Structure 1
Amino acid sequence: MKFPSPNPAVAERYYTEAHWRFDSTSQLFENMVRHHSERTALSDAEGNFFTYRELHAHVESVATCFADAGIGEEDIVTICAPNWWQTVVCILATLRVGAIINPVPMTYGWKDIKYVVDTCESKALILAGKFRNADHTAHIEDILGPGHGKKLVIQLAVGAQQAGVPFDTLLGKGECAVPLPSKPDNVAAILFTSGTESKPKGVVHTHNTILYGERCFVETLELGPEDTCFMASPISHASGFLHGVILTLTTGGHLSILDIFTASAAVDQMRRDSATWTMGATPFLVETSNELKARNATLPALRYFLCGGAPLPESVVRRAMETGMRVLSVYGSTESPPHTVVWPSDPPENAWTTDGRAAGDGIEIRIVDENGDECPEGEIGEEWSRGPNTFLGYLNAPEITARSLDSDGWYHSGDLAYQRPDGSIRISGRIKDMIVRGGQNIAAREVEELLIQIPGCLECALVGIPHERLGETGGAVLVMEPGHVVGVQEVYDLLVAQGVAKFKIPERVECWDALPKTPSGKIQKFKVQKMLAEGIKGEGDVR
C-alpha cells in the first residue's frame, strides 16, 4: 500500500526549525521507561495500576506476538476496544514493531469496521469482546469473511464467540527482538473521520506530525511527569489516542482511563488519581460540573478541563467555574489535531467567547474568503491551518486529499470562523455538511443515503439540532409517498439492522410534504434546521 509522504522541502524546514525531531513514538516511550520505571504510567476504572516498567513488559510481550505473526513496518493493525489497559498495551505494541495503529471507536457498527479493515488492508484486528451493548465478535464473519483469511485476530475479553486469540495468552513472552522503530517520518497512525463525504476517510499521520502537536500541548499547558491525565474520551478516537495515550506516555505522566463514563465514576476516579488535567466533549463537562455541585465538592488537583467539539455556551463554562474548574476551549480536527487552545494565561471568558489561539509557534492559521484571500479581522471566512502537526493526506484518496490539503500545505477545514483582535479565532458555523454529536462526527450524506432506501421515501435531509449536553443531535426530515409514514423507532430499527453505528441514528424524525429548496432544486438545510427548531412543518413547495 502506498502512503502519502512529507514534502521534502517542508520536511527540511520543519527539521531545521526543530519542530520535527528524530525520535519515534516508541523511542520516546522507551526513554520514559528508563527514566521513570517505578512511576505509575497507567490506571483504569477497575483499580489496576501499572508502573512504566510493568506496562513496558506487557507491551514487549504483545509486540513479540505481532512480530511472530509477521507484522511489522507499514502493516496496519485495526483496534476497536474501549478504555481498557489492554487497549493501551496493544496500541503501544503495534507502534513497537513499527506497524501502523488504526484505532476505531466502539460506537462503530460492524459495517463501519468492515469498511475500515478493507480500506486499510489490515493485517490484524483487535476486538474487545462484549462491552456494554456492543459485541463485534458476533459479526466477525461479516467483517472479515469466512475463515478470517490470514489476518491475526486478538480478543481482549469474552464475547458472543471466540473470534481470535485471547489477549491473556499473549503475555509473559519476554522482550521483543525487533529493533526499536527509528524512522519518525514513517506513518504511525491512520485515524478515520467522517466529513462531508459519504464514507469515513483515513487520515494519515506520521510520528512527527503526531508528536509535534502533543509537544505544543505540553509546552502550552506546562505538562510533565508530575501530571495525571484523566481520559474518559475513547482512546480509540483521535482525542483520547493523541492527547491521552501518546502525550502522556511519551512525557512520563500518569494516564488514568475510564471505560464507561458516569459523572459519579469520573469524579471518584479523578479524585482517586489526583488528576491534574482532562479533556472531553461538552457532555463530560456538563455532567462533571453537575456532579460536583450535587456533592458540594471540588477536584483540588485539577488544573485544566479542555473542551472541544462545539463552541462552549457561557452558562456551561460558568457552572464549571463555580466548582473550581478552569475550562480551556480547544479547536481542531483529526486532519489538523487541536491547533488552537485557550492558553492558561488568557482571560477565563475566552473559553466561551473564543476557540483559542495557535497552540504552537509552528502552527499558522488563516481566515479566508471564497477566493482564498485573507479576511479582515472580524469578518467571517473559512478557517485554514498548516503546520508540523498537519496530516499528510487521506488513505487511498488523492482526489479528496487535493480538495482539502492544497499544494502549499494549507488544510481547508470547511469551518466558518473569524479572527479576534487578540489573535484568537471563533468558529461560527460549518461549510461542511456534518453534525457533531457529543464530539463524534456524523456525515449527513452517509446517513441520508440509507434513509432514502426506506420504502416510500422520496427525499430526505439530515440536519443538526442544537442540544445543550451533546452539542448537536441528528434530526431527519423525510418526504414520503402518500400512505407511507415512518417514525423514530422505525428508522432506528431499519438502520440498526444495516449495521449503522447508533450515534449516527437520528433522534428526531419527521415526515413533511416537501423540503425547502433553492430555485435550482438544492435543499436548503439551514431552513430545515430553523423550521425544526420552530416546530414548523414543510408544506407544499416551500422556497
Structure 2
Amino acid sequence: MTKIQPHAITVYKYRIFTTIVRRTTMITTQDYFIHPEERAASLKGYTLPAIFNEAVTTGGEGPAVFDGTRLRSWHDWSHDAFALARVLQELGVSKGDVVALHLPNSWEYLTLHVAIALTGAIMFPLHMAYGELELRVLLERASASILVLPASHGQRDLLTLGERLLTTLPSLQHLFVTNSQAHSGIGTIEALLQQYAGASPQPVSLSPTDPFVLLPSSGTTSLRPKICIHSHDGLLSNAAAVASDGNARAEDTIISASPFTHLFGLLSIHLSILSHGRQALLPGWGTERFFELAHQSKATVAFAVPAQLRDVCLHLDTQPETPRLHLREVRTGGAKVPSSLVADIRRTLGAGVIVQWGMSEVGAGTFTRPDDPPEAASTSIGRPVTGAEVRIVNENMHDITNGETGNLLYRSPSMFCGYLKDERLTREAITTDGWLRTGDLASFNTDGTVAFEGRRTELINRGGLKFSAVEVESLLVDLVQLNQLAIIARPDERLGERSCLVASLRSGYSITLAEITTHLAAKGLAKYKWPEELLLLNELPATPTGKIARVRLMDLLQVEDQK
C-alpha cells in the first residue's frame, strides 16, 4: 500500500498524521427532511461512479476534456480520479465526510468531483466569488474536513486564506492547493497525482439515495446559510431527463461559461458524462477567452448566462471579422431572457436557444425544447423537465390558469432532500404535499409553457399599481450604453414606491434618463412603469453566478442616501 509522504500533502505537519475523527455531524440519509425513498420509483437508480465507469468503458482513450492546451481522454480522467480517491481514503475520508472545493472550472475540479464520489464522501462546491466570511460560515456549517483551493486567484492570495481557515475551523483537517509550485510544508494536487499515479481506491458500498452534493442556496445569507442536500440519484436523474428531453448528442463538445460550483455549470459536467460527449474547460469569464477556447475545441453547445451572451453578441456586432463559432445550441438561464437577446443570439451565432429556469433546490426545473416553435425561447421558460410538475397559485393557494401572474410552485422526484441541519426552513419551503415554494412569479401561456415574471421581491408598488422590475429590465437590455442594470424600488412618501434604474455604463458611453424613458415609450411600456430616477455606478454588486445582488444593491443605496 502506497504511503503518503508528509512533504507531498501537508500544509501543517502536525495535521498530516491525524485522520479524520468520526463525527456525529457526518451527513447521511438520516439528515434528509425530504426522504428519497418516497420518490425512488420515479428516479433512475444512478450513482456518479456507475455512470462515470460506463462513460470510461465506452470512451476509453477517446477525447473527454480539452483545457485549452491539452486534450485528455476518458482513461486520463479515470486514472487521476482513482488516484485522488485513494489519497482521500488514506487520509481517513469515508462516507458522510464533506470535501469542499473552492475551485474554478478546471481539470482538478473534474477529477475531484469523481474522486469524492468514489469514496462515498460529499462534494461541497464553493463559488470563487465568496470572501473569507462566506467561506468560514459555510465550511463550519457543513463541518467540512478537507478544503481544496488555488494558491491564488486573480489578485487574491487564497493560500494564506486557506491557512487561516485550517488553523481556526475545528472540523477542517487538511488543505490542498492547485496551481502552485510545490515547496516545503505545502501540498499540491499536482504532486499527489504524480505520487499516486496508478493507485486505485478501496471499494465503497454506495446507494443511489446517498448524499452526493451540498450546495448553498442562491437565497442564502452569511447569518443563516441555506445549504441544499442532493442525492446521487436526484441530481443525476435530473441531468438524464435534461439529456433525453434536449436530445443530447455524444458528438457534442460542451463549453460552460457558468462555474461548476453552480448547478447550471455542474449540469454541463453530468450531461457530458451521461451522453459520453466532451467538455472544453473555461476557468473564468472573458469574451475573447471564450471565443478562443470555443474555436480551439470546436464547441457545439454553450452554457452561459444572459449577461455573458450579451457580451458575445456585442463582440460579434462590433468585430464582424471574428470567425463564426461551431455552436449549434446555446443554453441559458439564471435571469429573465429578453426576446431581443434571443434574436441577437440566433442572428450572430446561428445557434438554437434553450432557455432554462432552475434553482439550487431543484437543478434544471423547466426549459424550452429543441423542437419548440422559435417564439418559445422568447416568451417562456418552457415546460417542466420530464417527471416534474409546476403550479401557479394565488395568495390563497388556489390555482391560476387564466394567464394571470401568481406564485410558482414546483414538485419533482429529483429535488433536493432538504436544507442541511435546518428542518424549520425546509418545512417553510415545502408544502405538506411536496410542492416547493420557489419565491418566483410566473404565468401560463396559452400553449401551456411557463412565462417567468421575476421574484416576488422584484415587484414594485407605485401608488397601488404593481409591476415587475424584470419586465422593465428586459426592455432595456438592448441599450448598448448599459453594461449592468437593475430596476430597484425606492421609498416615496406619496406613492409608497417609485422606480429607480441603477446601471453601469460600457466604456466610452453615456446616457440620460430622458433617453431611457424615450426608449421605453417607443416600446409601448406604460408610463407608470418608467424609471423616475437614474443612478450610475462604476459597478453593480453581483452574485457569484453573475446575477445582480439586489439586496446588497439596495443596502448600498440606503447607505448612500444617509450620507
Q: Are residue 41 (structure 1) and residue 64 (structure 2) matched?
A: yes
Between the aligned partners of 1:229 and 1:369, the Cα distance in structure 2 is 39
Q: CA RMSD in A?
A: 3.4
Cα offsets for 1:13-67 (capped at 9, x unmatched): 542xxx412331111101111111111111113x122100011111111111100
Between the aligned partners of 1:315 and 1:399, the Cα distance in structure 2 is 42
**How many Å apart are 1:178 and its aligned residue?**
1.8
CA contact (8 A) 1:152 1:164 kept: no
Structure-2 residue corresponding to 1:306? 331
Q: Are residue 65 (structure 1) and residue 87 (structure 2) matched?
A: yes
Structure-1 residue corresponding to 2:374? 348
Relative to the length of structure 2, the TM-score reads 0.75
Select 1:21's aligned residue among 44, 53, 62: 44
Structure 1 pair 227/74, CA: closer, same or farther in 2 (3 Å)?
same
What SS does the aligned partner of 2:275 have? coil
Between the aligned partners of 1:110 and 1:335, the Cα distance in structure 2 is 24
Equivalences, count: 466
**How many Å apart are 1:427 and its aligned residue?**
1.3
Relative to the length of structure 1, the TM-score reads 0.78
Structure-2 residue corresponding to 1:112? 134
Structure 1 pair 147/345, CA: closer, same or farther in 2 (3 Å)?
closer
Equivalent AA in structure 1 for residue 134 of structure 2: D
Select 2:421's aligned residue among 387, 390, 396: 396
Structure-1 residue corresponding to 2:440? 415
Structure 1 pair 298/21, CA: closer, same or farther in 2 (3 Å)?
same
CA contact (8 A) 1:477 1:509 kept: no
Equivalent AA in structure 2 for residue 5 of structure 1: Y
Equivalent AA in structure 1 for residue 364 of structure 2: P
Q: Are residue 204 (structure 1) and residue 237 (structure 2) matched?
A: no
Structure-2 residue corresponding to 1:84? 106
Equivalent AA in structure 1 for residue 327 of structure 2: L
Structure 1 pair 414/502, CA: closer, same or farther in 2 (3 Å)?
closer
Equivalent AA in structure 1 for residue 43 of structure 2: W
Structure-2 residue corresponding to 1:540? none
**How many Å apart are 1:159 and its aligned residue?**
9.0
Cα offsets for 1:403-456 (capped at 9, x unmatched): 11222221110101101121111111212479xxxxxxxxxxxxxxxxxxxxxx
Structure 1 pair 20/511, CA: closer, same or farther in 2 (3 Å)?
closer
Q: Are residue 143 (structure 1) and residue 170 (structure 2) matched?
A: no
Structure-1 residue corresponding to 2:199? 175
Structure 1 pair 12/297, CA: closer, same or farther in 2 (3 Å)?
same
Q: Are residue 257 (structure 1) and residue 281 (structure 2) matched?
A: yes
Structure-1 residue corresponding to 2:257? 232
Structure-1 residue corresponding to 2:514? none
Compare 417-426 and 243-252 and name the one that shifted more: 243-252
Structure-2 residue corresponding to 1:100? 122
Cα offsets for 1:118-172 (capped at 9, x unmatched): 0000011011111112332222344333497661211012399988521112114
Equivalent AA in structure 1 for residue 330 of structure 2: F
**How many Å apart are 1:375 and its aligned residue?**
0.8
Equivalent AA in structure 1 for residue 101 of structure 2: I
Structure 1 pair 49/433, CA: closer, same or farther in 2 (3 Å)?
same
Compare 140-149 and 335-344 and name the one that shifted more: 140-149
What SS does the aligned partner of 1:250 have? helix
CA contact (8 A) 1:478 1:512 kept: no
Between the aligned partners of 1:514 and 1:84, the Cα distance in structure 2 is 42
**How many Å apart are 1:503 and its aligned residue?**
7.8
**How many Å apart are 1:200 and its aligned residue?**
3.2
Cα offsets for 1:313-360 (capped at 9, x unmatched): 222121111121222211111101121111111122222211111121
CA contact (8 A) 1:230 1:257 kept: yes
Cα offsets for 1:175-216 (capped at 9, x unmatched): 323215531100100011231755431011001110111011
Unmatched tracts of structure 2, length 5 or more = 1-24, 460-468, 493-503, 505-536
CA contact (8 A) 1:141 1:148 kept: no
Between the aligned partners of 2:311 and 2:397, the Cα distance in structure 1 is 40
What SS does the aligned partner of 2:100 have? strand
Structure 1 pair 154/473, CA: closer, same or farther in 2 (3 Å)?
farther
